[in-house]
A = this chain, B = another copy of it.
Amino acid sequence: MNLKTATEIGKCLSNQTRVQIMEWLKDPEKHFPPHETLKHFNDGVCVTYIKEKAGLSQSTISTYLTNMEKCGILMSTRHGKWSYLKRNEETIKAYINFIS
Which residue numbers of A lie inside 8 Å of B, CB to CB? Answer: 3-4, 6-7, 9-16, 19-20, 22-23, 92-93, 96, 99-100
Q: Which of B6, B11, B92 contacts A99 (CB 8 A)?
A: B92
By a CB distance below 8 angstroms, the chain B residues around A93 are: 100
In the bound complex, CA of A51 to CA of B11 (Å): 22
Task: Tell me the number of copies of this protein.
Answer: 2
By a CB distance below 8 angstroms, the chain B residues around A7 are: 13-16, 19
Complex contact B15–A10 (CB within 8 A):
yes
Main SS at interface, chain A:
helix
In the bound complex, CA of A13 to CA of B12 (Å): 10
Q: Which of B3, B4, B11, B23 contacts A14 (CB 8 A)?
A: B11
